[in-house]
Amino acid sequence: METRKLYYEDCHLDTFTARVLECEAVEKGYSVILDATAFYPEGGGQACDLGTLGDARVLDVQEENDRIRHLCDRFLSVGTEVTGCIDMARRFDLMQQHSGEHIVSGIVHSLLGHHNVGFHVGTERMEIDFDGPITQEQLLQIETLANRAVWENLPIKCWYPSETELPNVFYRTKKALPWPVRIVQIPGYDSCACCGVHVERTGEIGLIKLLSCVKFHQGVRIELCCGSRALALTQKIFEENRQVSNAFSAKITETGAAARKVNEALAGEKLRANSLQSQLFDKIASEYVGCRRAIRFENALQPVQVRELADKMAAFCSQWAAVLSGEEGNYSICIVSKQGDVSAPGQALKQQFGARGGGKTGFFQGSVCATADAIERTLEAL
């Protein structure tokens, strides 16, 4: 006997009673078949419903030859009546996403002729793959039209056309389907073969927000979210933007320009800092004119700066120049020689302190874990 599909009769039915027809132990619990159910089974890109049947939790729902199998965590006595409760927050969210997806796919199809070739609902957003390109401009147009479909609060019609009626019904489909086919129609926006559960009217979908559009295979992948998810995401983004607005003392609608301005100023400051540092390094290096060797400790230099300073100092030293920077006991080091090689100081630091690093003739860069005094003594003893 096929299970009566209450979810197709009333998409908002969250509580129902039904008779247990079968209950058999399976690997992960008990497989239960009822004479009727409001639990939607996984299918058509829509996840199954979760909830309870009597005292049992419903962990999974699958359709099998028009019979709906509920995977429960407890045994239910055959012949008894049970009350089923659907996790309606979850179901409503999934309906909002799925109905929103139909609207967007229908608009893309009628506007650009692209087909929906993939659809996935994730935990935060969903993805639709299309077999053709979509520009940023078109994306905005699609989003506006999709939301207009919501404002119009259109009834969503789901039905099985008769065998004679079906050939005259237009619907999007991935392949030709044999009768019977369930059609989900959103007047003026979409008609599609689908077995999912949808909201009754488009107004229930709430905001439809397209998030991104990237090249994917021969077409594009659009990320979007609808309803409660779109609201939650908008609230989160708004709060982030409010903080950016406060940090930049910019109007909430002008944070992009403020961020660009700060980036430009920062780039200018970086140039200025580099130029000043270069001048400072020249001045430091000039202190070593005519020296044989030089060892210098500096605060908070990046490895690239350690190298730059060592390079400049080495130009005035007849043997080598070593620059170290970091915290006591853990230094970044660079030794440079313009005349010869630096294998002697490099090896000494490796042997004495297990320094890491290497380089080529006339150049050693790495790190050494020792105190400044110990490093200085070792290098000066060479």
Residues 6+ apart with CB under 8 A from 326: 332, 367
Residues 323 and 333 sit within 8 Å (Cβ to Cβ): yes
Identify which of residues 95 and 194 has a Cβ nearer to Zn ion in the complex. 194
- Nearer residue to Zn ion within complex by CB, 112 or 158: 158
The residue (of 51 and 196) whose beta carbon lies closer to Zn ion is 196
Closest contact distance (angstroms) between CB of 104 and Zn ion is 11
Q: How far is the CB of 194 from Zn ion (least distance, A)?
A: 3
Residues in 101-130 that interact with Zn ion by CB under 5 A: none
Rounded to a whole number of angstroms, the minimum distance from the CB of residue 263 to Zn ion is 43
Select 118 or 303, whichever has its Cβ closest to Zn ion: 118
Contact in structure between 138 and 220 (CB atoms under 8 Å):
no
Q: Which residue is nearest to Zn ion (CB)?
A: 194
Q: Which residues pair with 126 in a beta bridge?
A: 121, 224
The residue among 72 and 197 lying less far from Zn ion, judged by its C-beta, is 197
The two tokens of residue 380 are 């000066």
CA atoms within 13 A on the CB side of 203: 6
| Distance of alpha carbon 105 from alpha carbon 354, whole angstroms | 63
Shortest distance, position 125 Cβ to Zn ion, whole Å: 17
3-state secondary structure of 333: strand
Q: Which of 132, 150, 129, 145 is nearest to 212 (CA)?
A: 129
Alpha helices in the chain (DSSP H): 6-9, 88-112, 136-151, 227-248, 255-286, 303-314, 343-353, 372-380
User: 293, 289, 375: which is closest to 332 by C-alpha?
Assistant: 375
Cβ contacts of 68 within 8 Å, gap of 6 or more: 3, 5, 33, 34, 37, 39, 41, 61, 62
In the bound state with Zn ion, the residue whose beta carbon lies nearer, of 119 and 248, is 119
Cβ-based nearer residue to Zn ion, 126 or 194: 194
What mask, x for binding Zn ion by CB under 5 A, covers residues 185 to 224?
---------x-x----------------------------
What part of residues 251-270 is at the interface with Zn ion (CB under 5 A)?
none
Give least dist CB 46 to Zn ion, A. 7
Strand partners, 62: 69
Of 315-374, binders to Zn ion (CB under 5 A) are none
Site string for Zn ion, 223-242 (x = CB under 5 A): --------------------
The residue among 97 and 365 lying less far from Zn ion, judged by its C-beta, is 97
Least Å distance, CB 197 to Zn ion, is 9
| Cβ at position 111, least distance to Zn ion in Å | 19
- Helix (H, G, I), strand (E, B), or coil: what is residue 85? strand
Tokens of 27: 């690997």
| CB of residue 101 to Zn ion, shortest distance in Å | 7
Residues binding Zn ion: number (CB under 5 A): 2
Partners of 26 in beta bridges? 29
Residue ranges in contact with Zn ion by CB under 5 A? 194, 196
